[in-house]
Amino acid sequence: MLTNLRFQCPISKEDEKKLKLSRLAGHHLYVNFGADMGRRSFRKQPLPFLEKVEVIDAGAEGKAVARVNNRVVFIPFGVPGDIVDVQVTKKKKSFFEARIVHFHEYSPFRIEPVCEHFGLCGGCRWQNMSYDKQLFFKQKQVKDHFDRIGKFDYPEIRPILASEDVFFYRNKLDYTFSSRKWFTGQKPETGENVDCNGIGFHLIGMFDRIIDIEKCHLQPDPSNEIRLAVREYSLSKGLSFYDAKTWEGLLRNLIIRNTLSGQLMVIIVFRDDEEEIIRELLQHVKETIPAITSLMYVINPKKNDDISDLEIRLFHGNPYILEELTAFHANDPQLKFKIGPVSFFQTNAKQAALLYHVAAEMAGFQGHETVYDLYSGAGAIACYVSKYVRKVVGLESIPSAVADAGENAVLNGITNVTFHAGDIAKILNQEFFEANGRPDIIITDPPRNGMHGKVIDQILAAMPQKVIYISCNPATQARDIRLMSDLYEIKAVQPADMFPHTQHVENVMLMERK
């Protein structure tokens, strides 16, 4: 079950120091350290070795949790129920971090991971745990955050909504090209020519190293076929892959988006505008994967990977793809959404439709309401609830998302929604309420860091009858709701699994004015 891995590409002493702590349970990383690393790399006292430790919980960042002598121990890739020997790799005042070195007993909830890259790629850290237990610990995560951070009263949490698909559920993946890929197997002999170019996901804890992915189980085909076709062509032509340390190399990123109906968008990001090379590569992709409906490219000479501020050039097909949400009930709206290369849209489309249905059900719309949709993105929630209310006002800080939202309203023939661009903490104020009407219901779906304090203050000032809070981070959700709990009573809590095999959980809450 344990696999020895060696790094084959050139590696600096700085990287060796980083990798000293990168031992992963189930996939131990062994690195030979030279004698010239300096005294600082050697500890005066060895870190503890803990025997027969029982894993009792699944915690933050997907790490398993144990407790030894009243100290918390975080153990990557452990499963609750495992009994293991662990080597402590990091010692803090209140906790240890450790790696598994031996199993005494395997958890009854432990299963064999499907993906061959499990343990190196950090994308699916719970793939070695049965899905029913994943759901259990996700729901427990919501309760734990409410109890420890929120400290407010709440009703019994509804059973978590499982994802219909536990593999191939994502509609967007972003791959990285790198000239510093990680190899498995034996270290090559001195002088042996080693190809270090690859495309995939980052090695856990290392921004400049990637796992060269053979098959990813997150996005349906032809996603893997597209990535492999681009990789093989680029290798055969000797194209340079990006180096995140030197900021050199032509090929930077490959973004693949798809819809439930099978439409495909492919975006290739290059560092330099090598017109002929780019054209030949794109033509090869177009001919090799005829199912692609939108093929684009971007020139990004910056030191970061953000392309939202760059020109996105269309090579073939449409500049967008169309997603249609699945209706869960006969009364649910049938909506289409135009998705561009930088549009935000929930990456699990089936669960997104279920999530919006839950929010609408909790709101109990009567038809006369003015609804505010905070952090409205491309307008999916606003368009969804517009059928049930008098008016929807969307607020979003990203101008391109606001433009997408407006187009999506037009696409669906919706006329009772308006969208406003700007920093919500600044534009949501008394003047805005006077101009757009005070909200009867507020739906808020902020990013992981939650709502700005000024936004919370303005919600309390507006005093809507109901607040629906959708969150991908129950910790910040609990923090925010605690600030509102003097004036609002929590009526319903509904977690949903948007990302199987990860620790992430979405949560919808209904609050009513006391």
Residue positions annotated with a catalytic role: 472
| Pairing mode, strands 181-182 and 198-202 | unpaired
Residues 6+ apart with CB under 8 A from 309: none
**What type of residue is 397?**
S
The DSSP secondary structure of 222-246, one letter per residue, reads THHHHHHHHHHHHHHTTPPBPBTTT
Nearest to 505 by CA among 494, 490, 491, 495: 495
State the residue for tokens 């073939």: 316
The count of other CB atoms within 10 Å of the CB of residue 102 is: 12
The rounded distance, in Å, linking the Cα atoms of 126 and 143 is 19
Residues 6+ apart with CB under 8 A from 435: none
Residues 6+ apart with CB under 8 A from 268: 230, 251, 253, 254, 255, 278, 281, 282, 285, 296, 297, 298
Residues 6+ apart with CB under 8 A from 381: 356, 359, 373, 443, 445, 470
What's the length of the chain? 514
Nearest to 97 by CA among 134, 130, 125, 60: 60
Query: Where does residue 233 rank: exposed (0-12), middle (13-18), buried (19+ CB within 10 A)?
Result: middle
State the residue for tokens 């839950």: 358
Assigned token pair, 282:
């794109």
Q: What are phi and psi of 60, to 5 degrees?
A: -60, 145
Count the alpha carbons within 13 Å of 101 in the hemisphere toward its beta carbon: 13
Packing angle, helices 453-462 and 474-484, rounded to 10? 40
Query: Where does residue 1 rank: exposed (0-12), middle (13-18), buried (19+ CB within 10 A)?
Result: exposed
**What type of residue is 115?**
C
- In angstroms, the Cα distances linking 402 to 67, 320, 340, 396, 421 are 47, 16, 12, 6, 6
Give yes or no for a contact between 343 and 319, defined as CB atoms under 8 angstroms apart.
Answer: no
Give yes or no for a contact between 26 and 77, defined as CB atoms under 8 angstroms apart.
Answer: yes
Q: What are phi and psi of 253, to 5 degrees?
A: -145, 155
